[in-house]
Amino acid sequence: MKTRTRPTALLLLWTTGCPPVVEGVGPGVDTSSTLTTEDTGDDPSGSTSPPTSTTTLTPTTGATPTSGDTPDTTSGSPGDATSTGDAPAAVCGNGIVEEPEACDDGFDGNQQGNSCTEACEAAACGDGHVQVDNAEACDHGALNVENPGYNQCSTGCLRGGHCGDGLVQAGGGEECELSARPDGAANCAMCRLKPRVVFLTSASYPGGALGGVAGADKICNQFVAASPALTGTFRAWLLVDGQVLADRFPEFAEPAVSWNFSNMASDLLATNFKQLVELGPASPIVYTEGGEPLPKQLVWTNINAVGVAAGGDCGQWTSTEAAPALVGHTGFLPDQGEMSEQWHADRWWTDRASLKKFCHEPYHLYCVQVAD
């Protein structure tokens, strides 16, 4: 809308009381509602000076806008009929390679592990994703190194030493390799020896009322069946006179597959059976089938410090009237101090300084896992 200043002739007509004649407005044009006066602050009724107000005209019918009033239709705003019409953006996943896409194998084909990624970019070593199609064995992204060490990835996306490469690498914490010894596959998990558990029975029994070694084994497996923390088959740590450990525990006889041995607190006792026998457990065997600690308890064994039957087995563990039998000691908590050191040095766990007890007295049993 344009504001115009009233000509002098119109101002003179206004002061004489005659209606003004507006140039350019012909008959039939209603100006009654479109002629407005903008007061300058003078009072026309009390002054002989002509008013200096201006008039704004707004045509109500068919008036053609004057120069400068035509709307601008050249802008490229959204929805404008005169916009420039840019090409539609590329759609990654439609199977069509469009700029700036490097590839597009479709929605299902564009995957981080494939040659074309989810972003329609060509896969490459160093992008942090392993693409088997590109013969990549690994990809640690920015962590790829030129000369990879254990469990590292090269700048060519090839693996350094790792579990499964067939070489036992102690520097990487490996204890075994499945491919290095196929007959030892059962005990190797993630290149570490699987543990065989040793627990202490929470209940105690007269040595002469065990029902023989078979009865003692049955007691162990009854505890296993009642414990949600245990699985597998167990055997009591007992010998009868004249028996040797290789007969009692053939699973661990030489040449044998190595196993880790642990207590119910997951403390490492030994890395193989020979070490368990010759050096004794590295931690006390004080935890029961339920994980309850029972330190300083006596245990029926008839196995001396060097792993030989000590002589005296309570009538092969069937008679409370038989001669006394050797006992062991579970150890101390905390595992420190002079007594604890002697427990380790003299292998009190199985031979409490040649201490023997009468067969009617109740003591605990050690139970050793022999199978999964």
Q: Mean pLDDT in the chain?
A: 80
Give residue-wise pLDDT tens across range 339-361: 999 999 999 999 999 999 999 99
In a domain, 90, yes or no: no
Write down the pLDDT at residue 131: 85
Of residues 260 and 37, more confidently modeled: 260
Q: Which residues pair with 4 in a beta bridge?
A: 55
| Phi, psi for residue 96 in degrees, rounded to 5 | -115, 130
Write down the pLDDT at residue 36: 40
CATH (domain of 225): 3.10.100.10
In a domain, 123, yes or no: no
In a domain, 180, yes or no: no
H or E stretch at 9: helix 8-16
In a domain, 335, yes or no: yes
In a domain, 185, yes or no: no
CA 292 to chain centre: 30
pLDDT exceeds 60 at position 104: yes
Which residue range is the domain that position 351 belongs to?
194-371
Mean pLDDT of 287-307: 97
> Which of 2-11, 112-121, 259-268, 324-333 ranks highest by mean pLDDT?
324-333
In a domain, 72, yes or no: no
Buried b (16+ CB within 10 A) or exposed e, 246-273: eebbeebeeebbbbbbbbbeebebbbbb
Give residue-wise pLDDT tens across range 185-231: 567 878 888 889 999 999 999 999 999 999 999 999 999 999 999 99
pTM of model > 0.85: no
Pairing of strands 195-200, 260-262: parallel
Least confident of 92-106, 136-150, 233-247: 92-106
In a domain, 140, yes or no: no
> Over pLDDT 90: what percentage of the chain?
51
In a domain, 69, yes or no: no
Q: Check whether the bond before 100 is cis (ω within 30° of 0).
A: yes
Count up the domains in the chain and report the number. Answer: 2
